[in-house]
Structure 1
Amino acid sequence: MLVMNANDIAELVYKEYAKSFKPICKPVVKSNGIKEWTVLAAVVGYDTVAKAFQVVSMATGVKVTPDTHLSRSMGKILHDCHAEILAIRGFNAVLHDQLRRYNSIKDKTELYLIEKSASTNSFRVGEKWAFYLYISEIPCGDSSMNEAIESRDRGENDKQQELIFHDSDLIQYVDPKVRTVLRGRFNYSKKGFVRTKPGRADSNMSLSKSCSDKLCMKQVTSLNNAITYFLLDSPVYLSGLVIPNLNRSKMEALVKSFQRPGKLIAHPVEFLTTDLPFQDQKLQEEQTPSSMSGILLFLQKNKTPKQEAILNGIKNGYFVKGNKPLRKNCESLLSRYHQWSIFEQSNYFHSYLSFKKSLHKRNDLVRKLRDQLSSEGWIHTCSDDCHAQKV
């Protein structure tokens, strides 16, 4: 496996964050003088021929949409706005955009990731690329349980999460019938379990799985979402994960958590750490997380990235409270609705969910992995199909 200098990756990510993100996508100083914090993530490609890095996508965010808010979504609301998940969604959005425009653009080098095979007429990501995921914090869920223990020892943990749990205490489970899926950071002494977001005990319920669980899945199913998995000749896997200031305990927890898929792992991940801190990380317990998320999509080489601010899972400024219908054009570039509306123009499936069901090989991997991660069953998020209009 290619060994990279984690500091080089971190420096590039921080440079782009400072240069390209507008202030609205960054934490602000509140009226009480305390600064908000956020998590930063980026998918960075390494060109093994040119020996050069390229940021593909970047995101900030720490929020997740409660399940009760998804009944009106129809694919328009982003369920999970944690930075690393948004960055991976952004990576797929860049791939999808380059695939869509490949035949219509003259200078193919601008579409830096995609190649077309002359013999098969199919598309693939260039073999020269290796991809790394930078995250400013250790992924939530199983990987971060040692960090939760260290926080407890420093007296920083949520009192509700410090409770002493027994297996019979049902509050720790999302569903008492499925005791291999735990809610948030409840009973953080238990390792090797699937956990849901958010981590805080006083947050509204979500069935979105932790970033640790989702990144484990990427080792098996690839970085690709359903659409780019279908469109590309072969899937793309993550080569490495870069996280600042991983001590021995955190590194051990991270490695062990990522070993949970066992023999199903198609492409193991290399774990790298950097001593370069992120400027907007959480430094004091009094700090509150930023409600805003932001994305940068580097759609073409040497071009200004496309940017978007996201609040409550949709574009900033478009949120409507309660159960009222969502406003027109509220959906993010990363939303299922937007990506599906592009895909369905040249492909013929009844709906997004029916399309996903047709990916039998990928679905078989997902089923096997879910059985491996949670032996007592899987708790699904609510069905969120989309019947997008043509764009």
Structure 2
Amino acid sequence: MWSPDEIASVCYNHFNKLPKRGKPETDREWTLLAAVILLTDSSDQKTVHKQVVSLGTGTKCIGQSAMSMKGDVLNDSHAEVIARRGCVRYLTEQLYRAVSGQSSEVFCPGTDEGKWAVKPGVSFLFFTSQTPCGDASIFPMTGSQAQPCEPVKAIQNEESERRGLKRHAESELEETRQGPGMKTSDNHSSCRKSGDADEHEVITENKERNQLNEVSHYQPNVKKRPDLHRTGAKCVPDGPTDPLEAGLLYHNVGVLRVKPGRGDRTLSLSCSDKLARWGVLGFQGALLSHYLQGPIYFSSVVVGKGPYSHQAMQRAMKTRCSHVRALPSGFSARAPELLQASLEFTHNHTHIESKHTHTLGRISPCGAAISWCAVSQQPLDVTANGYKQGVTKKALGTLQARSLISKVELFHSFLKLVAATEDSQLPETLRGKDLRTYWDYKQAAGTYQQAWTQLRLQAFPLWPRSPRELLLFY
């Protein structure tokens, strides 16, 4: 009824129709794309209508020191996270339409009072132009895959790695003149397709590669040591660490990882980890779960053309949570169908590198993140450094600087939904309680929090908790 290539084509075409603002500079900048597709069966169930309801681009996240107690900064601007947040914005408006007596593309009344269910024949699919960062990106290379970084020749210790990161961060800051606290994820770096090594390592290993190539020219039977694709996402604190040994022994697999911040650690979990979490808790989040009969899961995850391992995707997004039990009614460890398209995103690093010439300057990740979602007002939202693109330093922290998918803006949209709901139709979890802050409303979603507790206990005990003081805004 649909193919992975159809899904990829729909997403790429939708991106191409968006305004130029926030898009990568031609032949010099690259980015990643993710999207949520609404699938609707036709009346005869022989065809499926495919609609992009949320699309995101981006490769960056902010360090812990740049996080805001007002909830007005985007902490994680990876494309997958942007797309999911845009979809939450879309779902909030669809619920608002439903409680207001208007038609909704998604929801119909549920069986429980004050609850809503996804309409029969409606489902959601997730697309990402590249394998998600973190555990899903760790898998052996094959001889046919691009390998700009040669296998590591010796064990690297954490201290030398930190020194290399610091040198790279200083040079990157000077060259790109980016805003404070914004970091380029190693997982989406120029070395992503061969394992996301840091640039100082890339330079060293490229020299080694040249030497090996010269040797291979004269000794064609010399075999290269097997290596694996690496991720820049670091193992969470207090858990297993990567051995950083040669080739296939560089990474541990199946562990939680935080996206890297050069110098300033982030609190943002890898996209592999977040997709695994959404596979148990649903992608709607705690707030919308007040209104929903049950969680909303992605039926399928489609990845664009590039290095890919079905086994690694399965491990990262299914196996790690498959044993989780004792979940509240409606919740389960769902296993989305995992597929890959044969169509490449023309703005990814591999494609840009193939067209790049030295006269264009250094290839770099696009500093902006685009969010588009199918809402009635202001569907397009372009950010940089966690704030709306183009805001002055003087405007930072003001209403004008906020992204429409920041925590505080999504919270205010939810409060408008609550205000539009008649008292008799208000979900039980929102009745007769003194709820004020974002934290209060999240914690009041009891069933969702029970499921999250079970997921933590059984699968992700080391998942870092956000400091409570960052969630007390209203």
TM range, smaller chain? 0.7 to 0.9
| 1:7 alignment partner AA | D
Deviation of 1:206 after TM superposition, in Å, equals 0.2
| 2:282 alignment partner AA | S
| 2:370 alignment partner AA | G
Q: Structure 1 residues 378 and 308 mapped into 2: Cα distance closer, same or farther (>3 Å)? A: closer
Q: Does 1:98 align with 2:102?
A: no
Tell me which residue corresponds to 2:334.
267
Number of aligned residue pairs: give it. Answer: 357
Tell me which residue corresponds to 2:77.
81
Tell me which residue corresponds to 1:307.
380
Q: Structure 1 residues 8 and 54 mapped into 2: Cα distance closer, same or farther (>3 Å)? A: same
- Answer with 214-223 or 309-318: which moved more: 309-318
| 2:387 alignment partner AA | I
Q: Distance in 1 between matches of 2:396 and 2:382?
A: 21
| 1:189 alignment partner AA | H
Deviation of 1:195 after TM superposition, in Å, equals 0.5
Q: Which runs of 5+ in 1 are unaligned?
A: 164-171
Partner SS, residue 132 of structure 1: strand
Q: Distance in 1 between matches of 2:459 and 2:201?
A: 23
Q: Report percent identity of matched pairs.
A: 24
The structure with the largest alpha-carbon Rg is 2
Q: Distance in 2 between matches of 1:75 and 1:368?
A: 26
Deviation of 1:103 after TM superposition, in Å, equals 4.6
Deviation of 1:122 after TM superposition, in Å, equals 3.3
Q: 1:214 aligns with which of 274, 278, 283?
A: 274
| 1:333 alignment partner AA | L
Normalising by the residue count of structure 2, what TM-score does the alignment of the two structures yield?
Answer: 0.68
Q: Distance in 2 between matches of 1:161 and 1:233?
A: 50
Tell me which residue corresponds to 2:217.
none
Q: Distance in 2 between matches of 1:66 and 1:355?
A: 26
Q: 1:357 aligns with which of 417, 423, 443?
A: 443
Tell me the alpha carbon deviations over residues 136-160 of structure 1, each in whole angstroms, 9 at most, x when there is no partner: 0100011112278977664443266
Q: Distance in 1 between matches of 2:86 and 2:109?
A: 22
Cα RMSD of the aligned pairs, angstroms, is 3.1
CA contact (8 A) 2:256 2:270 kept: yes
Q: 1:57 aligns with which of 54, 58, 61?
A: 54
Partner SS, residue 239 of structure 2: strand
CA contact (8 A) 1:241 1:271 kept: yes
Q: Which structure's residues are more often helix, by fraction?
A: 2
| 1:16 alignment partner AA | H
CA contact (8 A) 2:242 2:250 kept: no
Deviation of 1:203 after TM superposition, in Å, equals 5.1
Q: Distance in 2 between matches of 1:26 and 1:78?
A: 18
Tell me which residue corresponds to 2:255.
193
| 1:220 alignment partner AA | V
Q: 1:293 aligns with which of 358, 369, 372?
A: 369
Deviation of 1:360 after TM superposition, in Å, equals 2.5
Q: Distance in 2 between matches of 1:208 and 1:62?
A: 12
CA contact (8 A) 1:208 1:381 kept: no
Deviation of 1:342 after TM superposition, in Å, equals 2.8
Q: 2:198 aligns with which of 155, 158, 161?
A: 158
Q: Does 1:279 align with 2:346?
A: yes
Tell me the alpha carbon deviations over residues 176-232 of structure 1, each in whole angstroms, 9 at most, x when there is no partner: xx1247799xx852111111013x7x3531011000000000110011111211122
| 1:197 alignment partner AA | K
Tell me which residue corresponds to 1:382.
467
Q: Distance in 2 between matches of 1:76 and 1:243?
A: 30
